[in-house]
Amino acid sequence: MIPEEMDVIVATEPGGPDVLKPARRPVPTPAAGEVLVAVTAAGINGPDLLQRRGHYPPPKGASDLLGLEVSGTVVAGDDQSRWNIGDRVCALTNGGGYAQYVAIDADHCLHIPDRVDETDAAGLPETYFTVWSNIFHGHEVPEGALLLVHGGAGGIGSTAIQLGAALGLRIFATAGSAEDCAFCEQLGAERAIDFKNEDFVPIVREAGGADIILDIVAGDYVARNMKAARHDARIIQLAFNKGSKMEVDLMPVMLKRLTYTGSTLRSRPDAFKAQIAYELRTRVWELFGGGKLKPVTHTILPLAEAAEAHRMMEAAVHRGKILLTP
């Protein structure tokens, strides 16, 4: 039986992790085309931190609660949906994941992959939707292309390394310690670069240059990425850990015919996300059953400890995903 109220985590005001507090809210009612999911676990992601600080407001009509991905069980929904009551799913949300129940577009849900624990599955949607939509969707990426992944030990990075390697790409990754570099190589990176002690530019150039660069750092990495890129490369900006404002010489963009792009996922149309879900279901999810992909969970904390999860995320000491369980 579905209760009338549920436990949630709210951001009482813009600020640090301490503004995240337990609260009670009404259980949402799914609209047409939506399903109601009883949450098994919710993933922590960079946009959650931005929203908590007041820099990433939810789209119009979306829940004001944090949480962009969950796993759980379908308990109610549109009769026309392809999902049945009791189905186990993982899903991309527009918000609302830090709760016991969340209403989700049925087309943004995916079945739990074979050989994946339901709790661990909560850490898949945001990173796989992001990596697939930026690197592979709409692009023919040739086997053997060199993909440089910055922040290889994090959620986005560990997904990009695994998925790229599974699809035949050469993977170079940067990380902040010898241990993190070893972790990246275990996931499938050909070469992991300790950015505190090594310069990735000459290392990547010696390997022929990067065909694709996935960057969450920005700052001085923008110019360095252009140096590390080969001709006709794509540089994809997903975050700005070193800041989004810098002075940069754009001449390499012309001389190397570089494509410099970036995106956010939450603001994309529902139909776009549904298309990405379809491509993941038909082209990627089977790789979990074959053992080529696996979830990477750093730790699992109770929902009430969301503030501690955010502190851990900001300290950047995690490898893979941080999850919350109601």
* CATH label of the domain that carries residue 237: 3.40.50.720
**Which of 233, 262, 291 is the last residue before a domain boundary?**
262
**Which of 262, 278, 306 is the last residue before a domain boundary?**
262
pLDDT at 268: 93
Whether residue 78 is found in the same domain as residue 52: yes
Whether residue 148 is found in the same domain as residue 178: yes
Average per-residue pLDDT for the chain = 96
Alpha-carbon 208 to chain mean position: 28
Range of the domain at 102: 5-124+266-325
Whether residue 253 is found in the same domain as residue 138: yes
pLDDT in tens, 28-55: 999 999 999 999 999 999 999 999 999 9
Alpha-carbon 131 to chain mean position: 7
Q: Report the number of distinct structural domains present in the chain.
A: 2
CATH number for the domain that contains residue 98: 3.90.180.10
pLDDT at 241: 86
* Whether pLDDT at 73 is above 90: yes
**Which of 238, 262, 286 is the last residue before a domain boundary?**
262
Whether residue 293 is found in the same domain as residue 215: no
Whether residue 244 is found in the same domain as residue 301: no
Whether residue 213 is found in the same domain as residue 106: no
Dihedral pair phi/psi, residue 261, rounded to 5°: -145, 175
pLDDT at 233: 98
In angstroms, rounded to a whole number, what is the distance separating the alpha carbons of residues 179 and 186?
11
pLDDT in tens, 121-178: 999 999 999 999 999 999 999 999 999 999 999 999 999 999 999 999 999 999 999 9
pTM: 0.95
Whether residue 145 is found in the same domain as residue 256: yes
Whether residue 278 is found in the same domain as residue 240: no
Lowest mean pLDDT among 73-77, 104-108, 266-270: 266-270
Whether residue 134 is found in the same domain as residue 120: no
What's the pLDDT band for 79 if we cut at 50, 70, 90? confident
In angstroms, rounded to a whole number, what is the distance separating the alpha carbons of residues 163 and 159?
6
- Tell me the three-class secondary structure of 83-99, residue by residue: CCCCCEEEEECCCCCCE
